[in-house]
């Protein structure tokens, strides 16, 4: 058997998962140079090249794809075995890796994630915010956090008691100049700040009232790819924006943004923590889930 170490195998999987040495080095807690050395040593031991490298990109060779395909499940079994042994101590330790939408991360970071770290000083948190809905198992995450409607059907979901609400808002100056829309159809006569989703499509504004469901492909002079930028543009009077209510509470209270079409906004959707049901739960994961359930019930 080739003389390879666990850290070298983990390094290769991290590069395959993240696509760059720099990002993988952050995941592994080492420098890019150290990570490159580990992979070079692994390739020398195996006698094959696992990655095509250029100054701009990193991609798997055919041998690399085979290596990752066979190794990833086996290494996960090894890690689960280690965690199972650690669980016998009853004291959570290690790192919890979570993938979440950025708006979701803002909501659960303090009441759940940071509260968990304060309770368990031996634990570490690795939180990755991503607009894409990723495969948390394939990309090495313990948990995902998304609204209930986006949780994959093969995952176990834990509602966090943080209902997700949205609002259409504009600055007082914009509404004074252009008027206030009364129905979703009125939006077609307004400048709307459009948001491009990670896949490249434009977000369609969704409305519901008394059983009527309306989706509007709004138009406007400004197109952005991040909600906080849309909030800034709306505050500057560039048009109406469809935003997560959690991030604009201060603006609404201060009067710098004014909600419209409130009676047309869709009902709130639960924010959920989710994880694969087939995976062994480490002591850390079990403790995190227990705290999430307790916080959602208001008893922790």
Domain boundaries, the chain: 6-86, 89-163+270-296, 166-264
Question: Does domain 166-264 match CATH 3.10.350.10?
Answer: no
One digit per residue, the tens of pLDDT, for the chain of length 300 reads: 457 788 888 888 888 888 888 888 877 878 888 888 888 898 888 889 998 887 777 888 998 888 888 887 777 767 666 655 555 555 678 899 999 988 889 899 999 999 999 999 999 999 998 877 888 988 889 999 999 988 998 999 999 999 889 999 999 999 999 999 999 999 999 999 999 887 788 989 999 999 899 999 999 999 998 888 999 999 999 999 999 998 899 999 999 999 999 999 998 889 999 999 876 788 899 999 999 999 888 776
The CATH code for residues 6-86 is: 1.10.10.10
- What phi and psi values does residue 124 have, to the nearest 5 degrees? -125, 150
Q: Tell how many helices (H) and how many strands (E) occur in the chain.
A: 10, 14
Q: How big is the chain, counted in residues?
A: 300
Q: Are 203 and 166 in contact (CB under 8 A)?
A: no
* 89-163+270-296 CATH: 3.40.190.10
Q: Do domains 6-86 and 166-264 have the same CATH topology?
A: no
Q: What is the pTM of this model?
A: 0.65
């Amino acid at each position: 058997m080739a003389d390879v170490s666990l850290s070298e195998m983990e390094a290769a999987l991290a590069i395959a998962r993240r696509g760059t040495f720099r990002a993988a080095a952050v995941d592994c807690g080492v420098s890019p140079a150290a990570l490159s050395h580990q992979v070079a040593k692994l390739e020398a031991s195996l006698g094959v090249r696992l990655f095509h490298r250029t100054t701009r990109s990193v991609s798997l060779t055919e041998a690399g794809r085979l290596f990752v395909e066979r190794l990833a499940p086996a290494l996960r079994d090894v890690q689960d075995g280690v965690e199972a042994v650690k669980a016998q101590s009853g004291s959570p330790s290690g790192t919890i890796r979570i993938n979440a939408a950025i708006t979701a991360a803002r909501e659960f970071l303090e009441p759940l994630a940071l509260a968990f770290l304060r309770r368990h000083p031996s634990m570490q948190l690795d939180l990755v915010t991503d607009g894409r809905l990723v495969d948390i198992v394939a990309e090495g995450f313990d948990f995902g956090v998304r609204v209930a409607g986006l949780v994959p059907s093969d995952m176990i979901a834990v509602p966090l008691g943080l209902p997700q609400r949205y609002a259409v808002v504009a600055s007082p100056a914009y509404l004074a100049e252009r008027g206030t829309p009364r129905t979703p159809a009125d939006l077609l006569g307004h400048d709307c700040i459009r948001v491009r989703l990670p896949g490249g499509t434009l977000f369609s504004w969704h409305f519901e009232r008394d059983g009527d469901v309306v989706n509007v492909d709004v138009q406007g002079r400004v197109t952005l790819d991040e909600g906080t930028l849309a909030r800034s543009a709306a505050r500057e009077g560039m048009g109406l924006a469809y935003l997560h209510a959690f991030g604009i509470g201060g603006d609404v209270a201060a009067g710098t943004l004014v909600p419209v079409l409130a009676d047309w906004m869709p009902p709130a959707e639960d924010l959920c923590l989710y994880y694969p049901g087939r995976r062994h739960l480490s002591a850390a994961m079990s403790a995190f889930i227990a705290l999430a359930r307790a916080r959602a019930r208001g008893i922790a």
